[in-house]
C-alpha cells in the first residue's frame, strides 16, 4: 500500500458540527464550527477555531463568554445555514426559528432545539494565523431530557452530525457501533 504526499492539509476525520453562540451588541447569534474539540479535562475546557473576520469573534470579545450547541441530524439545514451566512447581515435566530435561552452565565445564548448546550467562559484567545483559537472553560452543561437514558446523555437520541471535508464537503450521521472503549484493546495485551 503506497502513500501519496499531499502537502500541509487540515485533514482530520471525523470533525464535529457545532453551533457557537454569542451575544453581539446584546443580540444572540450562532455560527457553525467544525474545527473544535475538548481541550482539557479538569477543569473541562473546549477550543473552537474562528476566522478573524467572523462576527462571532466580536461577540466573544464583548462578553468573554460563548456557548457550544450540538445540533441533531434533523437540524442539518439550520447547521449549514449558520455556516454560510453572517450575523452582520441576517438574523440567523429568526431564519432558523431557534428558541434561545440563557443559563448560568447569563449572556451566552443557548439553542433549545439542540440536545446538548455548553456554556463557556473565555480563558485564552490565541492568534494562530487565519483563525483565532478560542479556549473556554465549560461552566455548565444542559441536555434535553428527551435525549437521556437512565439519566445519562445518549448519543443514539442526540444524533450528532459529523462534518466531512473530503472528497466533498458534507454532513454524515453516526453509524454502527464498532466496539466498547477501554475494553476491545485488552485483546492485544500480552498475557491476555
Q: Which of 20, 60, 79, 105 binds its own copies (CB under 8 A)?
A: 79
Contacts (CB under 8 A) with its own copies, residues 1-20: 1-16, 18
The DSSP letter of residue 192 is: -
Q: How far is the CB of 24 from its own copies (least distance, A)?
A: 19
Q: Which of 24, 39, 60, 108 binds its own copies (CB under 8 A)?
A: 39
Q: Toward its own copies, which CB reaches closer, 11 or 26?
A: 11
Q: Which of 21, 28, 36, 109 binds its own copies (CB under 8 A)?
A: 36
Q: Which of 21, 28, 59, 160 binds its own copies (CB under 8 A)?
A: 160
DSSP output for 65-78: EEEEEE-BGGGHHH
Of 21-29, 57-65, 149-157, which segment contacts its own copies by CB under 8 A?
149-157
Residues 51 and 53: their CA atoms lie apart, in Å, by 6
Binding mask 47-66 for its own copies (x = CB under 8 A): x-x-x---------------
Q: Toward its own copies, which CB reaches closer, 24 or 143?
A: 143
Contacts (CB under 8 A) with its own copies, residues 162-191: 162-164, 166-190
Distance, first Cα to last Cα, the chain: 31
- 81 near its own copies (CB under 8 A): yes
Contacts (CB under 8 A) with its own copies, residues 97-136: 101, 103, 112, 116-118, 123-124, 126, 128-131, 133, 135
Q: How far is the CB of 121 from its own copies (least distance, A)?
A: 10
Q: What is the dihedral of CA 59, 61, 67, 72, to 10 degrees?
A: 60
Residues 22 and 67: their CA atoms lie apart, in Å, by 7
Q: Which of 55, 59, 66, 80 binds its own copies (CB under 8 A)?
A: 80
Nearest residue to 103 (alpha-carbon basis) of 115, 116, 93, 117: 117
Please name the residue that has the C-alpha cell 438574523. 91
Residues 75 and 167: their CA atoms lie apart, in Å, by 23
All three cell numbers of 87:
450575523
Helix/strand/coil for 61: helix
- The size of the chain, in residues, is 192
Amino acid at each position: 500500500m503506497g502513500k501519496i504526499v499531499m502537502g500541509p492539509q487540515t485533514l482530520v476525520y471525523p470533525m464535529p458540527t457545532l453551533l457557537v453562540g454569542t451575544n453581539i451588541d446584546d443580540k444572540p447569534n450562532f455560527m457553525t464550527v467544525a474545527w473544535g474539540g475538548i481541550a482539557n479535562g479538569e477543569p473541562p475546557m473546549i477550543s473552537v477555531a474562528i476566522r478573524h473576520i467572523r462576527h462571532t469573534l466580536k461577540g466573544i470579545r464583548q462578553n468573554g463568554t460563548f456557548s457550544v450547541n450540538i445540533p441533531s441530524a434533523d437540524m442539518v439545514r439550520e447547521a449549514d445555514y449558520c455556516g454560510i451566512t453572517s450575523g452582520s447581515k441576517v438574523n440567523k435566530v429568526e431564519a432558523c426559528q431557534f428558541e434561545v435561552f440563557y443559563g448560568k452565565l447569563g449572556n451566552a445564548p443557548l439553542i433549545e432545539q439542540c440536545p446538548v448546550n455548553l456554556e463557556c467562559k473565555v480563558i485564552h484567545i490565541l492568534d494562530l494565523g487565519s483563525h483565532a483559537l478560542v479556549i473556554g472553560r465549560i461552566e455548565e452543561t444542559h441536555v434535553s431530557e428527551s435525549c437521556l437514558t437512565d439519566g445519562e446523555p445518549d448519543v443514539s437520541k442526540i444524533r450528532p452530525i459529523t462534518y466531512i471535508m473530503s472528497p466533498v464537503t458534507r454532513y454524515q450521521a453516526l453509524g454502527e457501533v464498532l466496539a466498547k472503549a477501554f475494553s476491545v484493546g485488552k485483546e492485544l495485551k500480552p498475557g491476555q
